[in-house]
Structures are given as structure tokens and as C-alpha cells.
């Protein structure tokens, strides 16, 4: 396997763009990445692309739709789907194409458009689609699953309403500073605690919205990266994980979970991050910047433990002490997180890596983490999908 | 008699998930005779890695379980969830059964101080809506166990 570097990144800002197509959003992100890498479209030798479920058949072949706009060149285009980890699957596929030696330069794209409000079931066969059951029989949107786990955590470790609200306060102060964020308003603890209850104990400001957005990354064989950029970012690990038997987490879509734990919670993310630490030879203690999937305040706390940034039940204390803020032990989501961006499902895993790259290049202005050398992007998706990318400079 | 019907004229919104028994409503689950994994619903099979998957048998979960977690939901979910009227706010409970499985469901007939982790609950039904023939279309639900 060859070493692989990131030579270009590009985004379409996050928001709601009902007048636009996924192709339009994706084209802007790719054009920005090409410009950032100072590379011509014709030099891209492979593409991996993915979106979530609202593109119809066109969405299943999103890479072909995007390539048509820039001009078709006959290269391999692979379209991927791994729920909220779709973008990570695109990045890993591009990464593997280069690491294997098959091509020197590859493009990963994640795009998304989504309707307003709750996501819901897209088929009607309960025997093959768990989504049908959870919607029809229990009326369970995603935040209900997060709230059930959050309540367990509160019961077990004494997590308070203030602990949950504090996460939003921290993330919102970074979102204000990020020009690509959808929500750019700083909140006080009191404002978060006064936001409407959605799924008790989780309030409106403590869960993420659904957004539209697009992100693109160009990867290159490390020994050829200098041809394009003076600031290549090394991919130290790019892994994916799935769930492990006996994981007690109530997983989105499922109606049941084992009562007795035989595997860690969020085992898909435990698996992806442990693989990444082993491959990179880097541990959580070395990470300066962590982009984690803050779908809710519960995720922010739980992921610190799942990925080994603190011991079990210690995340709240870490947050109270300011150890997860810029200047603390590890800067967690200095991008503003999903809390400030919202989930653009197919795009967010690529976006997390783009944010990490921008930090390692020192281009984040007032939310820059000083002297950042190691960054990690942790992704999480429905039905046991996860990915971890560790980057170094 | 239509075996999918439970007590009275109540009809499950989807089949094969629960049934009425003399002693009350019980969830339909299944357990692997080889690896012991218990799963719900009975048709979403799950096994321990390496299991030969032999001897899966359908079981009925105990009528009574313990509240392992809950959330109170403050807005109505979109279709395909269907109820006659706005039922918010409503609790969704996660109930641990002695068979080693936790199952989620809407909670009914509760008072606020019943929402305590560890509290015993029993399985029942909840009427979502009435169809054109006036039949009650129901889902499974949990309520605090009568003392």
C-alpha cells in the first residue's frame, strides 16, 4: 500500500436549497476542490461518489451525473451508499484506488439534498425494511432513539440537563465563525435550556437538523503530491467499521436491542476508530482536532468515550472543564459540528474531513486550533455504519 | 377466525408482531436454539457470528418487563405513522424482558411518576385509528403494571 495525501478540498456551503439539484451542489464542491488542488479535471483518474436517498435513480449514479458536467473521460466511477457514512465510503474508495497503486489521483464526492423536517420510511415492506416498522408501529423519528440512550446515560452517570445544553453552547460559538455553516448564532446555556423539548431529555437545540450541502476531496499518491500543492495532508488511516454482535445500543430503525452487553456501545464506531489507531500508530492522546458526529448532545458525550478520548462516564466532566474546546485537551468540532451545519447525509463524512484538512493547513482564522498536527474525523451511520479518518501534517 | 385478530375487533396495523392471549397481549419473538440469540420481530433473524442458525423457534415474550429507558415525544411523526388525532406528548418506552431482549413501544395509561427506570410494565395494545369498517387498528404498547 502506498502513502496517500489530500491535495485539494472543496465545499458547497450547508443550508436548504430547494431550488437546486444535487448535481448543482456537487459541481460547485468539485470545482472548488479542483481549483484548490490546482489540478485539471482531465487528471482525475477515478471517482467515488455518493448521495442519500432523495436523488432517485440519478442519485444512485451520482458520479456519472457529475462527470457529465465536467466532461466524460472514461475513468472508473464508483457510486457508494452507506447511510450517513456514505461520504466516508466514497473517500475510502478513492483512497484505496490510490493506495493500491491502480491510479495516482482520485476524487471523492458526497452530496445531499433532503426534504424539511423528519426523515421517514421510503418503502412499505416491513419484512425487509425495519424503517416501516418503527414508523408505523411506534412513530419513532431518529431523535427518539438518541433520547432513549441519553436517558440511560443520565441514569447511569448523572448527566444533567445543563451538561446536554453546554454542548450546544460550545458548538454554536464555533459555528458563528464558520462561513460554510448553516446556523451561525451563538447561544447561552439559558437559551438552549429554554428551547422546545423534542424528545425528552433532548431539546430542539440539542439535536441536529437535516441540511443540503456538498463536499469533495482530491487524493493523490504522496510522492506525487508536491506537483500540485505545498500543503499536502497525509492520510494516516481511512477505515470503516460495522456493528459487533452484542452491542446494546438501540440502533436507528431497530425495535429491539440485546439486554446484556457483549460488545461496546456504538460498536461500529468503536471498531472503525480502533482500526484507525492501529493502522496509523496514533492514539486519541495524539489527536489535536476531532470532528465527531454530534447528531445530538448525547452523541458528543458518548463519542468521546467510544473513541477513547476519556474513560466511561467521564465525558461530562471533560466538557465541564473546557477540555473539549479550542485550547483544551482536544478541540472537538471546531467547525461548529452538525449542530451548526445540520446533517447533509451523503456529504457530511466528506465535509468532516474537509474541515480537518482546513485545520491542519492552518486556514481556520479565529477558530484555528493552534499548531494542529493530527486531526481525526469520526463518522456514524444508520444500521451499523461507521468510518474513521486520521490525518497528519 | 382470523388469527391476526386480537381481543374484540382489534386488528394489528401490521401482522406477526404480537398477539392476544388469555393472560394478555404478548410480543412475538424468536430464539435461536444454537446461539441463543433472541430477536424481534420474529422475521428479522439475527445470530452470533459462526452460528449454524439451526433450531430457531418462535416464542412469546413475557407479558411483563422492566422499563429500561423512555423518551417523551413532543411532536407528531410524519406518515406512515397514522393516528386518529394528535397524541403528543407521548412516551416511548424501552422495556427489558426476561428473555434477554429490550423492545421499544408507545406507553399508555401512565401517570408522570410511573416513568421511572426499573418500573414493571405490562404489554398491551394502543388503538392508532379506526379503519373504514370501524375496526380498531392497533399497535403493541406498554403500561405500568397494575399493583
Beta strand B101-107 with B136-144 is parallel
Whether A270 and A223 map to the same domain: the answer is: no
Q: Any CB–CB contact under 8 A between A151 and chain B?
A: yes
Asked if A155's CB is within 8 angstroms of B101's CB, the reply is no
Whether A145 and A110 map to the same domain: the answer is: no
Whether A29 and A85 map to the same domain: the answer is: yes
If phi over 0 gives left and psi between -120 and 50 gives alpha, with beta otherwise, what is residue A18? alpha
Whether A361 and A313 map to the same domain: the answer is: yes
Asked if A133's CB is within 8 angstroms of B92's CB, the reply is no
Domain count, chain A: 2
Is position B5 within any domain? no
How confident is residue B92, by pLDDT bands cut at 50, 70 and 90?
very high
Is position A270 within any domain? yes
Nearest C-alpha neighbor of A374 from the set A269, A293, A309, A285: A285
pLDDT in the model for residue A52: 87
pLDDT in the model for residue B146: 82
Whether A185 and A83 map to the same domain: the answer is: no
- Computed over every residue of chain B, the mean pLDDT equals 93
Q: Is the pLDDT of residue B147 over 70?
A: no
Domain count, chain B: 1
**Among candidates A120, A151, A155 on the partner chain, residue whose Cβ is nearest the Cβ of B78:** A120
Is position B1 within any domain? no
Give the Cα separation of A339 and A145 in Å (integer).
Answer: 17
Q: Is the pLDDT of residue B1 over 50?
A: no
Is position A121 within any domain? no
Is position B47 within any domain? yes
Is position B45 within any domain? yes
Range of the domain at A304: 140-205+236-392
Is position A285 within any domain? yes
Q: What is the pLDDT of residues A210-233, one digit of tens each?
A: 999 999 999 999 999 999 999 999
Q: Which residues of A touch B40 (CB under 8 A)?
A: 255-256
Q: What is the pLDDT of residues A79-104, one digit of tens each?
A: 999 999 999 999 999 999 999 999 99
pLDDT in the model for residue B2: 46
ipTM, two decimals: 0.95
Alpha helices in chain A (DSSP H): 22-37, 56-60, 62-70, 86-99, 130-133, 142-157, 161-175, 189-193, 267-280, 297-306, 315-320, 337-341, 348-360
Cell of B14: 401490521
Whether A319 and A226 map to the same domain: the answer is: no
Whether A248 and A368 map to the same domain: the answer is: yes
CATH, residue A320: 3.40.47.10
Q: What is the pLDDT of residues A152-206, one digit of tens each?
A: 999 999 999 999 999 999 999 999 999 999 999 999 999 999 999 999 999 999 9
Is position B6 within any domain? no
Is position B4 within any domain? no
CB count within 10 Å of CB B20 equals 17
Q: What is the pLDDT of residues B2-30, one digit of tens each?
A: 456 666 679 999 999 999 877 789 999 99
Is position B128 within any domain? yes
Give the Cα separation of B143 and B125 in Å (integer).
Answer: 9
Q: Any CB–CB contact under 8 A between A263 and chain B?
A: no
Q: How many CA atoms lie within 13 A of A206 on its CB side?
A: 32
Is position B2 within any domain? no
Q: Which residues of chain A have pLDDT under 70?
A: 117-119
Give the Cα separation of A331 and A370 in Å (integer).
Answer: 10
Is position A373 within any domain? yes
Whether A23 and A58 map to the same domain: the answer is: yes
Is position A229 within any domain? yes
Range of the domain at B16: 11-144
Give the Cα separation of A338 and A326 in Å (integer).
Answer: 17
Amino acid at each position: 500500500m502506498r502513502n496517500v495525501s489530500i491535495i485539494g478540498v472543496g465545499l458547497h456551503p450547508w443550508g436548504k436549497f430547494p431550488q437546486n439539484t444535487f448535481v448543482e451542489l456537487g459541481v460547485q464542491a468539485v470545482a472548488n476542490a479542483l481549483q484548490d488542488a490546482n489540478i485539471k479535471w482531465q487528471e482525475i483518474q477515478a471517482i467515488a461518489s455518493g448521495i442519500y436517498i432523495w436523488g432517485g435513480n440519478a442519485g444512485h449514479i451520482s458520479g456519472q451525473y457529475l462527470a457529465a458536467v465536467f466532461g466524460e473521460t472514461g475513468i472508473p466511477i464508483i457510486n457508494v451508499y452507506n447511510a450517513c457514512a456514505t461520504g466516508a465510503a466514497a473517500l475510502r474508495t478513492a483512497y484505496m484506488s490510490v493506495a493500491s497503486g491502480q491510479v495516482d489521483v482520485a476524487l471523492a464526492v458526497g452530496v445531499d439534498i433532503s426534504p424539511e423536517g423528519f426523515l421517514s420510511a421510503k418503502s412499505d415492506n416491513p419484512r425487509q425494511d425495519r424503517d416501516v416498522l418503527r414508523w408505523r408501529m411506534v412513530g419513532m423519528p431518529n431523535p427518539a432513539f438518541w433520547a432513549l440512550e441519553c436517558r440511560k446515560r443520565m441514569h447511569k452517570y448523572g448527566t444533567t440537563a445543563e451538561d446536554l445544553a453546554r454542548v450546544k453552547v460550545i458548538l454554536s460559538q464555533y459555528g458563528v465563525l464558520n462561513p460554510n455553516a448553516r446556523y451561525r448564532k451563538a447561544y447561552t446555556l439559558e437559551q438552549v435550556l429554554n428551547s422546545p423539548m423534542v424528545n425528552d431529555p433532548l431539546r430542539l437545540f440539542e439535536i441536529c437538523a437535516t441540511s443540503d450541502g456538498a463536499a469533495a476531496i482530491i487524493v493523490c499518491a504522496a510522492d506525487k503530491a508536491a506537483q500540485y500543492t505545498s500543503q499536502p495532508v497525509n492520510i494516516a488511516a481511512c477505515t470503516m467499521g460495522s456493528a459487533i454482535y452484542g452491542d446494546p445500543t438501540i440502533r436507528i430503525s431497530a425495535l429491539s436491542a440485546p439486554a446484556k452487553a457483549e460488545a461496546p456501545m456504538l460498536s461500529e464506531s468503536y471498531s472503525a476508530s480502533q482500526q484507525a489507531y492501529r493502522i496509523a500508530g496514533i492514539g486519541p492522546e495524539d489527536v489535536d482536532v476531532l470532528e465527531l458526529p454530534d447528531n445530538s448532545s448525547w452523541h458528543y458525550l458518548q463519542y468521546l468515550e467510544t473513541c477513547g478520548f476519556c474513560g466511561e462516564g467521564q465525558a461530562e466532566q471533560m466538557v465541564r472543564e473546557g477540555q473539549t474546546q479550542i485550547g483544551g485537551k482536544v478541540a472537538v468540532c471546531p467547525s461548529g459540528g452538525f449542530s451548526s451545519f445540520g446533517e447533509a447525509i451523503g456529504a457530511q463524512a466528506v465535509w468532516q474531513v474537509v474541515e480537518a484538512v482546513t485545520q491542519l493547513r492552518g486556514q481556520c482564522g479565529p477558530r484555528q486550533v493552534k499548531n494542529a498536527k493530527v486531526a481525526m474525523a469520526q463518522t456514524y451511520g444508520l444500521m451499523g455504519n461507521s468510518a474513521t479518518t486520521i490525518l497528519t501534517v | 377466525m382470523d388469527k391476526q385478530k386480537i381481543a374484540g375487533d382489534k386488528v394489528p396495523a401490521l401482522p406477526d408482531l404480537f398477539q392476544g392471549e388469555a393472560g394478555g397481549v404478548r410480543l412475538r419473538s424468536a430464539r435461536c436454539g444454537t446461539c441463543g440469540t433472541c430477536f424481534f420481530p420474529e422475521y428479522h433473524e439475527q445470530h452470533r457470528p459462526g452460528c449454524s442458525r439451526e433450531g430457531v423457534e418462535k416464542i412469546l415474550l413475557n407479558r411483563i418487563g422492566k422499563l429500561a429507558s423512555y423518551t417523551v415525544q413532543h411532536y407528531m411523526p410524519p406518515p406512515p405513522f397514522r393516528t386518529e388525532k394528535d397524541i403528543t406528548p407521548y412516551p416511548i418506552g424501552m422495556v427489558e424482558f426476561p428473555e434477554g431482549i429490550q423492545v421499544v413501544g408507545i406507553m399508555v395509561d401512565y401517570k408522570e411518576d410511573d416513568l421511572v427506570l426499573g418500573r414493571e410494565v405490562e404489554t398491551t395494545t394502543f388503538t392508532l385509528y379506526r379503519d373504514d369498517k370501524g375496526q380498531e387498528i392497533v399497535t403493541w404498547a406498554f403500561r405500568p403494571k397494575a399493583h
